[in-house]
Structure 1
Amino acid sequence: MADFQTAMHQWRDGERRVREALPDERLALERVTDRILAELRRRLGGPFTIDELLQLYDQGTGWCTDIAYREAPGAPWAWDARTTADAAFGRYVREAVDYSGGRRLDPRPAE
């Protein structure tokens, strides 16, 4: 399974690339990222953990590229999973039950 810190670095880079894109490219990037985010919600369902999200990421992001082709067929810059998929995973990790304040929560109960 991918290391959490490595994945977070990649996901934050994706978010940064979307945020810093040229205005005329950002619209397509945001549209694709939002659609991938919706698919992540569908695939993981209700409450999920960081490990479950990492496992899905490890299975590959080819399906994200498929979404990008469909969602923005005339915007090849939006097809790069290192941007749109990583941005979507970076946004979605914030909803994990074991994520808070920009970090992974310690799963051990407080004593």
Structure 2
Amino acid sequence: MRTTLAIEQWRAGDRFVERLDEPTLRRVQPVLEATYAELRRRLGSAFTVDELVELYEAGGGWALDLASRLAPEHPETWDARIVDAAFHQYLRQAQDWGGGRFLALDRGDED
């Protein structure tokens, strides 16, 4: 169940970013890109949904620190929902994820 909750939170982050006005989105985009790049550095290109959830549950302070360093003059870019959106974007690269769903059907936590 924890995986489902994390994914829903990440989707909500994506929806939040989609609703941003254009000037705010331009300020947020570098934060999204840097967070995505850091996820790639931390997990690599071969990872599972569970590994991404574990990293998320370990705490996202590093991502918020990254945002505040990248855009210290724009605190609106430090919103945790932006981090969630980056996780959602990175989720699409998971080995066991495709087309918006798990590729492996024998997952016990998805009931």
Give the structure-1-normalised TM-score.
Answer: 0.90
Is the partner of 2:25 in helix, strand or coil? helix
2:89 equivalent in structure 1: 91
Q: Provide the aligned length of Structure 1 versus Structure 2.
A: 106
CA contact (8 A) 1:10 1:86 kept: yes
1:66 equivalent in structure 2: 65
Give the structure-2-normalised TM-score.
Answer: 0.90
1:55 aligned onto 2:54: yes
Equivalence map 1:73-88=2 (5 Å): 73-81=72-80, 83-88=81-86
CA contact (8 A) 1:18 1:30 kept: no
Identity fraction in percent: 44
CA RMSD of aligned residues (A): 1.3
Q: Distance in 1 between matches of 2:3 and 2:28?
A: 24
CA contact (8 A) 1:18 1:84 kept: yes
2:5 equivalent in structure 1: 6
Q: CA deviation at 1:4?
A: 1.6
User: Greater relative contact order: 1 or 2 (C-alpha under 8 angstroms, separation 6 or more)?
Assistant: 2
2:19 equivalent in structure 1: 20
1:100 equivalent in structure 2: 98
CA contact (8 A) 1:68 1:78 kept: yes
Gaps of 5+ in 2: 107-111
Is the partner of 1:95 in helix, strand or coil? coil
Q: Distance in 2 between matches of 1:63 and 1:101?
A: 29
Q: CA deviation at 1:46?
A: 2.9
Q: Which amino acid aligns with 1:100?
A: G
Is the partner of 1:96 in helix, strand or coil? coil
1:31 equivalent in structure 2: 30
Gaps of 5+ in 1: none
